[in-house]
Amino acid sequence: MDTSTTTSTHQAVTTSSELCSRLTQLERGVCVVNVISLAACGEKSLPKVKVELDGVLQDSDSIKGSKIRWFPKEPLNFTSKAKQAIARVLSSYGVRWGDMTIVPLARLDDLQYDIKAIEIDWEMALNDMLDNYDSLVSDWQMSNLDVADIMRRYTMDKAEFGGRFKMKMLPPVAFNPLIAEGDEESAEELADDILSNLYGEVAKMASDIYDKSFFVADTNGHKVARTKANRRIKDTFKRLIDKLEGLSFLDNNIEKVVAQTNVVLNSMPRTGWIEGANLSNLARWTLVMSNPDMLRNHASDSFTLEVEPEFIEDDFGVLGESVSTSLDEDLSVFEAQQDVVDTTKVNAPVDNFSIEGSVDIDFTNQEPDQLGFGLGF
């Protein structure tokens, strides 16, 4: 038999076997979860009204009516905070798939525990708001006397208003895709779609780590590179690693990413500050992880992080930046709103990576070796 034919057949069998394994583990090792949160907005759309445009009152059918806020907005802020917290938890435990989240069964109990904690906070805030409902409505009307009569007309009953607020984690359901036997193309497309979402979400998490943990605001509010960081910076990678490990069966190469991340983290000093070449190496690997395409390419190849020598003193190549020495700096990387992964940001080339706001560092006009945390790969 032709050697090339034998090799091709062997590769096809191997590929088919891997696909079957991935689908089997998807069906047996994960579930689909969803958390719903509903809330009243405290506004009411008014019926058709005349709108003044250029000094003339208009009442055309093409002009929409206005809204009136009959309930203050601030007491409702707990709902948006809860939604953000839910999104962070779901993102750290699983990977988005449509409107739902795929979560490894091994992590389901921990997920439910964290969601329950958010639900408790939600109920406490809701009850507190409803206990003060009448006074909140009255004070709001008193502060808007010119439209108070209209507000009263559309003010909801407290019981009806409270009934609009709901937060609940739906019962987890089995993940059982209906793919015809032997339809390897659909099976591979499904697995790759979930894997692509995973790499994109991990890249977003790494991007947040890079932005929040390797820069600090100076006295003018400008972001400048840290010259040293507290060792707690390593803790920000825990959720990222757990997320990858929980879905590592989707791609054997994920284990390489986890292993390399642990190598970098374990190389950091156990006492004192993380600075110099150590901080540079940690930042460089974080940059790799912040780009999904680069992360996937490195995962599929034999990749070893190039460690910089310890004698480098100014690894950021920036003179005169403000140095933060507070051990209590906020190194949390999951406080930003991330209901939806911004694929335009995480897929951007690392060369064009930017920090929002006014930044004192010009990344675009410096070579990688001038910045201690340049890729250099």
**What's the pLDDT at 73?**
95
pLDDT at 114: 96
For range 28-55, the mean pLDDT:
80
pLDDT (average), residues 124-132: 97
Distance CA 226, CA 322 (A): 8
CB 113 within 8 A of CB 182: no
Model's pTM, two decimal places? 0.67
Average pLDDT, the chain: 76
Of 328 and 254, more confident: 254
Provide CB contacts within 8 A for 232, sequence distance 6+: 331
DSSP letter for 349, please: -
Please list, residue by residue across 164-189, b when 16 or more beta carbons sit within 10 angstroms of its beta carbon and e when fewer do.
Answer: ebebebeebeebeeeeeeeeeeebbe
Distance CA 212, CA 329 (A): 10
Residues 94 and 139: beta-carbon distance below 8 Å = no
pLDDT at 170 over 70: yes
Q: Kindly tell me the burial class for residue 93, based on how many C-beta atoms sit within 10 Å of its own C-beta (0-12, 13-18, 19 or more).
A: buried
Calculated CA dihedral for residues 269, 271, 275, 280, nearest 10 degrees: 20
The answer to whether residues 372 and 283 touch, using CB atoms and an 8 Å cutoff, is: yes
Backbone angles phi, psi at 44, to 5 degrees: -140, 130
Region 116-137: what's the mean pLDDT?
Answer: 96
Strands 274-275 and 228-229: antiparallel
Which of 69-78, 151-160, 214-223 is predicted with the least confidence, judged by mean pLDDT? 214-223
348 or 29, higher pLDDT: 29
The 3 state secondary structure assigned to 43-72 is EEECCCCCEEECCEEECCCCCCCCEEECCC
* pLDDT greater at residue 280 or residue 364: 280
Confidence of residue 307 (pLDDT cuts 50, 70, 90): low
Q: What is the pLDDT of residue 62?
A: 55
